[in-house]
Amino acid sequence: MAMGSKKLGILAATAGFVLMVFEIAAARILAPSIGSSTYVWTSVIGVIIMALSVGYWAGGRIADRRNNPNDIARLFLALSLTITFAMIMYPGFLSSVAEWTIDVRFSAVIASLVLFAPTSLLAGAVSPYLAKLNVRSLASSGSAVADLGALNSLGGIAGTFLTGFVLFGFMGVRDVMAVLAIGTLVVSWWARGGRNRRETLLMVAALVLAMLAWPGSGVLAIDTPSAHYTIEDATLSSGHTVRTLATGPGGKQSGIIVGSPTELAFWYTREIATVIDLQPAKQRIAVLGGGAYTLPAYLAQKYPDSQIDAVEIQEYFEYSPAKNVGHIAMDARTFINGVKLPYDIVVVDVFGDDSIPESLMTAEYGRALKRAVTPGGVVIINAIAGTGGTCLELFQAVSRPYLDNFATGYYLPRINDGGRSNITAVFGSHPKVPSNYIPTGPATGPIYTDDYNPTMRVQFACERR
C-alpha cells in the first residue's frame, strides 16, 4: 500500500527531529566521563556524519531493491531499539572507557562509534527510502526529493531548538532518550500499513526495554540548558565529607563541606579568600563562576558591608543569597564586556570541566576586564596549569591577558613541581599578596585573540604531560 506525500513528509520531519535531539543528547552523555571539550564535540559530530553517510548509501540501495513502504516502519522500530541500547549501555560502558589510558580523542571516537553510530546510520537510511517512495514521476522527481529534504531539515531545526532551549531545562539526558525511544516506537506503529504478530512483539519488547532503562544510575545527575552536572559526596583528607559539583571527568568545580556550609572546602578557594582579605578596597567584588556559591556566601558573611556579585551562567541552583549577594545569570565574558560600574576585586574561577574557556584567554578579554576593574583594583584567578614543560606554555597563555593590562602579577601553585595543578594568581597595580607568592615577571609567550585561539591544543598538551 502506497504512502501519501503528507505522511511521507511527516516521517521525514520526524527523522530529522530524532537525529538532532539524539546528537545533542549524545554530547551530554559523554560529558561526565570523557568531557565536553572541542575534541569531544568533534568526535560526536564526525562519527554521526560518517554514520549518516553510510545510512544514506545503504538506504538508497535497499529502497531500490525492495521499495516496500512498511520498511519505513521497520526503520523507526530499529531506531527505537538502538536508542534504547545506547540508553542502557552508556553508564557502564563510559565508566570503563574513562579508565582507559589512551588519548581522549580516541576515547571519544570509540564511544561515539559504539553508542551513537547505529542510531545515526538508521536515521540516515530513512531519508533516501522516503525519497524513493515520494517520487511519482521523473518530471516531478526534483521537487519530490527537495520537499522531503526541506521537511527533514525543519524537523532537525525544531529538535535542536527544543532540546537546547527547553528540554534540558526540565528533563535529564536519560529522560530525553527514553521519550525519544518511545516516540520513535509510536511513529513506527503509525507508519506501518498492516500489523503482524512478530513486529508487534518487537515493539512491545522495545517499549519494555525503554521503560526499564529509564531509571537513573545512582549518582545524582542534573541536566540544564547550559551544562550537565553530577553531584556526589567525597571524603577529604581531614575526614570531612564534601558534597561536590562537577561538569566533567577532569575534577570538581565546587564543593560544600556537609554540616559546615560556610567553611571553604578547597585549597584554591581558601587562597582566594586570603588574598581578598589583604586588599584595602573591597566594597564591590565580582565572582565570575558562582558554582555552588560557597565563595560568594563566605564573602557575604565575612564582609557584610560589601556588595558581592556572583556571575554564573546556570540558573538551576536555587541559591538563596544574602542581602549583599547579587546573582547575575550570564556568561562571564558577556558580563565583563558590559560592566558599567567597575569593581574593586574581580575573582575569575570559570571552568568547563577542568579547562578555562577560550573566551577568557584573549587580548580582547583582557582589555574588557581592565575597564571592569577600578584603577587600584585587583584580579584574582584560579587556573589549572603548570610552571614547567608544556604546562608552562598554558600558564603563560592564561596569564598574558592579565599581564598585558595590569602592572604586576604574582602566583602560587598548589604543587610546586612545575607540573599541572591549581594555581592562584593575582594581578593589579600594587596588589597585596602573602609572602609566599612568586612574582610572574613580564608577559611572555604569544597573545591569543578572539580570532586565533589555540587554547585547546595547549591545554591538551599540558594534560598529557
User: What is the per-residue DSSP string for 110-132?
Assistant: HHHHHHTHHHHHHHHHHHHHHHH
Residue 300 and residue 441 in contact, taking contact as beta carbons nearer than 8 Å: no
Rounded Cα distance, 342 and 285, in Å? 9
Residue 267 and residue 371 in contact, taking contact as beta carbons nearer than 8 Å: no
> Which tops the pLDDT comparison, 177 or 259?
177
Dihedral of alpha carbons 442, 448, 450, 456, sign: negative
> For 341-364, what is each residue's pLDDT tens digit?
999 999 999 876 667 888 999 999
372 has pLDDT over 70: yes
- The whole-number average pLDDT for the span 435-439 is 96
Between 324-333, 337-346, 401-410, the lowest mean confidence (pLDDT) is in 324-333
Grid cell of 442 as nine digits: 613580564
Q: Which CATH class is domain 5-214?
A: mainly alpha
According to DSSP, residue 360 is labeled G
> For 88-147, what is each residue's pLDDT tens digit?
888 888 888 877 877 788 889 999 999 999 999 999 999 999 999 998 888 888 888 999
What was the pLDDT predicted at 178? 87
What was the pLDDT predicted at 438? 96
What was the pLDDT predicted at 1? 40
Grid cell of 263 as nine digits: 567553611
Residue 191 and residue 12 in contact, taking contact as beta carbons nearer than 8 Å: no
What was the pLDDT predicted at 217? 44
What was the pLDDT predicted at 31? 76
**pLDDT category of residue 58 using cuts at 50, 70 and 90:** very high
What was the pLDDT predicted at 96? 87
- The whole-number average pLDDT for the span 221-247 is 61
What was the pLDDT predicted at 308? 95
Give the SS3 label for residue 285: strand
What was the pLDDT predicted at 157? 96
What was the pLDDT predicted at 28? 83
Closest residue by Cα to residue 373 from 404, 349, 340:
340
Q: Which residues pair with 448 in a beta bridge?
A: none
Rounded Cα distance, 213 and 179, in Å? 11
**Strand order from edge to edge, sheet including 307-311:** 325-328, 307-311, 284-288, 343-348, 373-385, 421-428, 408-413, 438-439
Q: Give the domain 241-463 fold.
A: Rossmann fold (3.40.50)
Between 149-163, 218-232, 355-369, the lowest mean confidence (pLDDT) is in 218-232
CA 348 to chain centre: 19
What was the pLDDT predicted at 416? 82
Which residue matches cell numbers 565572582?
Answer: 287
Closest residue by Cα to residue 339 from 314, 365, 319, 306:
365
Same fold, 5-214 and 241-463: no
The secondary structure of 224-256 as a DSSP string is -SS-EEEEEEEE-TTS-EEEEEESSTT--SEEE
> Which tops the pLDDT comparison, 409 or 256?
409
Residue 444 and residue 423 in contact, taking contact as beta carbons nearer than 8 Å: no
> Which tops the pLDDT comparison, 193 or 315?
193
**pLDDT category of residue 322 using cuts at 50, 70 and 90:** confident
What was the pLDDT predicted at 419? 85
230 has pLDDT over 80: no
What was the pLDDT predicted at 464? 65
Rounded Cα distance, 134 and 196, in Å? 25
The secondary structure of 143-173 as a DSSP string is HHHHHHHHHHHHHHHHHHHHIIIIIHHH--H
> For 265-283, what is each residue's pLDDT tens digit?
788 899 999 999 999 999 9
Residue 180's identity, in one-letter code, is L
449 has pLDDT over 90: yes
> Which tops the pLDDT comparison, 105 or 291?
105
What was the pLDDT predicted at 236? 64
Phi-psi region for residue 333, left (φ > 0), alpha (ψ -120 to 50) or beta? alpha
> Which tops the pLDDT comparison, 276 or 223?
276
Q: Which residues pair with 337 in a beta bridge?
A: none
224 has pLDDT over 60: no
383 has pLDDT over 80: yes
**pLDDT category of residue 200 using cuts at 50, 70 and 90:** low
Rounded Cα distance, 6 and 14, in Å? 12
Between 241-245, 367-371, 416-420, the lowest mean confidence (pLDDT) is in 241-245
> Which tops the pLDDT comparison, 226 or 314?
314
- The whole-number average pLDDT for the span 216-239 is 58
What was the pLDDT predicted at 396? 94
423 has pLDDT over 90: yes
407 has pLDDT over 80: yes
299 has pLDDT over 90: yes
Closest residue by Cα to residue 391 from 312, 346, 458:
458
Q: Which residues pair with 381 in a beta bridge?
A: 348, 425
Q: What is the mean pLDDT of the chain?
A: 85
pTM check: above 0.85 = no
Segments making up each domain of the chain, as ranges: 5-214, 241-463
> For 204-216, what is each residue's pLDDT tens digit?
676 666 566 554 4
**pLDDT category of residue 371 using cuts at 50, 70 and 90:** very high
